[in-house]
């Protein structure tokens, strides 16, 4: 959905606005480069294996919210945590029990235009999506094909004003 970058410093040079990080290793690299994400979603795992202790300790140090999300799914609980994080005036780290892998998708839908969503591409680097209406439309089309209570899902996401959803950036 965006360019892949292996250097967090170079990636951050292109960030202008709120920053949402999805994944422990991505969050770790952004923190090491000197930028705390406005919202970070972590689950203490990478490629379905536990992250090393330094990464775990670093990315969970400022945990603000805990949420539960099943593997290969998107729960109401984690959506509510994402919305809460975006509306906070302070950086928010969401520690997910389960898996946060798919959370880049709803993050793209609810992030304001110009915000950055960064997620990991295993064995390649960090994908940087600068949010536009086109990105939002592409992700909505993809999410419409998901199974589950999509009506409730869209109701939750549409409650967010994407022009003003983040005040902490």
Indicate the annotated binding residues for GTP. 24-26, 43, 100, 123
- Specify whether the CB–CB gap between 82 and 53 falls below 8 A: no
Pairing of strands 92-98, 63-69: parallel
Tokens of residue 26, six digits: 């991505």
Q: Which residues are annotated as a binding site?
A: 24-26, 43, 100, 123
* Residue owning tokens 């969401």: 94
CA nearest neighbour of 104 among 15, 164, 27: 27
Pairing of strands 4-5, 125-130: antiparallel
* Residue owning tokens 């591409």: 121
């Amino acid at each position: 959905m965006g360019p892949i970058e292996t250097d967090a410093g170079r990636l951050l040079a292109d960030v202008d606005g709120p920053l949402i990080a999805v994944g422990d290793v991505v969050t770790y690299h952004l923190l090491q480069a000197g930028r705390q994400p406005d919202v970070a979603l972590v689950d203490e795992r990478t490629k379905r294996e536990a992250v090393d202790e330094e990464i775990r300790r670093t990315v969970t140090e400022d945990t603000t919210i805990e949420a539960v999300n099943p593997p290969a799914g998107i729960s109401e609980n984690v959506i509510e945590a994402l919305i809460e994080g975006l509306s906070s005036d302070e950086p928010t780290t969401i520690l997910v029990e389960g898996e946060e892998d798919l959370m880049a998708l709803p993050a793209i839908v609810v992030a304001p235009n110009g915000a950055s969503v960064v997620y990991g591409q295993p064995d390649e680097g960090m994908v940087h999506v600068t949010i536009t209406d086109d990105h939002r439309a592409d992700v909505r089309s993809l999410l419409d094909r998901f199974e589950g209570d999509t009506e409730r899902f869209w109701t939750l996401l549409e409650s967010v004003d994407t022009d003003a959803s983040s005040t902490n950036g």
